[in-house]
Chain A
Amino acid sequence: EDKVVQSPLSLVVHEGDTVTLNCSYEVTNFRSLLWYKQEKKAPTFLFMLTSSGIEKKSGRLSSILDKKELFSILNITATQTGDSAIYLCAVPGSSNTGKLIFGQGTTLQVKP
C-alpha cells in the first residue's frame, strides 16, 4: 500500500530559526514527490522532486530527495511569521490515476 509519513507533526520555532521537515514514502512505482504549503485555503505548490541529490531552491526554502532511502527534506532558513502553515508532502499513487497520496502534514508555527 502506498504510504507517506511526515515528521514532525507540529513544530514551534522563533523567527530566524532554521527548520527541517521530513517526508518518507513507500510507493510501488515512484515518479515524483511534491511539497505544498497550505495556509488558510488551498495548498500551494512548492517543489516537485524526481531525481536524487538535486536540490531545488526557492528563496529561503529548499528541498532534496533521496530515492535510495526513500525520503525527502524541506528546509526553511531564517524563518518568518509568514512561514507559519501546514506543509504537505505527497506522491502520485502507483495506479497512475492522478491520485496523490498525502502525508499527515507538518504544522509549523513561527513566533515573532
Chain B
Amino acid sequence: GAVVSQHPSWVICKSGTSVKIECRSLDFQATTMFWYRQFPKQSLMLMATSNEGSKATYEQGVEKDKFLINHASLTLSTLTVTSAHPEDSSFYICSARPGTSGRAYEQYFGPGTRLTVT
C-alpha cells in the first residue's frame, strides 16, 4: 500500500516551453502533497505544499508564477514548469500525505521526474 507515482519519469524539453509533471497517490487519498526539487548530490529542497482544493503554499524564493501547482483531487497534484530554462533542469520529487494520517512525518515519495531543458 501507500504507492505514489509520478509521470513522466523523465522529460527533455526546449527552452521556453512548459512542462507538466503529475503526482498521483494510487491507493490512498492525499489531502496534502509536497513538491521537492533536488540538484545532483544535494538534498531535497521543498518548493511548495499543496492542499486539495486550495492554493499551494510556496517556500521562500520559489516563484509561484513559474512553478504552477494544482491539486484538483485527493489523488492528483500537478506541477507545471512554465517557460522552462536550462537552470530549471533538475530532479523533481513529490510526496503525498494520507488524509487519515495523524502523524506529522507520514508521507510517501514518488519516484521523481528528471527534467532536462535544452
Contacts and interface: CB of A to CB of B under 8 A. Distances in A.
Interface of A: 6, 10, 31-32, 34, 41-44, 48, 86, 88, 90, 92, 96-105, 107
Contacts of A104: 42-43
B111 A41 contact: yes
A79 B97 CA distance: 32
Tell me which of A31, A96, A102 has the highest count of chain B C-beta atoms within 10 A of its own C-beta: A102
Contacts of B112: 41-42
Tell me which of A98, A99, A101 has the highest count of chain B C-beta atoms within 10 A of its own C-beta: A98
Interface in B59-118: 93, 95, 97, 101, 103-107, 109-112
21 contacts: A32-B103, A32-B105, A42-B110, A42-B111, A43-B109, A44-B109, A90-B105, A92-B105, A98-B32, A98-B34, A98-B106, A98-B107, A99-B46, A100-B34, A101-B46, A102-B44, A102-B46, A104-B43, A105-B42, A105-B43, A107-B41
Interface residues of B, number: 24
Given A97-B49, A100-B46, A31 B41 contact: no
Nearest to B6: A42
B105 A100 contact: yes
Interface of B: 4, 32, 34, 41-46, 49, 57, 93, 95, 97, 101, 103-107, 109-112
B104 A92 contact: yes
A98 B104 contact: yes
Contact of A103 (B43, B104, B110): B43
Given A32-B104, A88-B43, A92-B104, A99 B49 contact: yes
Contacts of B42: 104-105
A99 to B, nearest CB: 6
Contact of A31 (B43, B57, B93, B105): B105
A6 B111 CA distance: 23
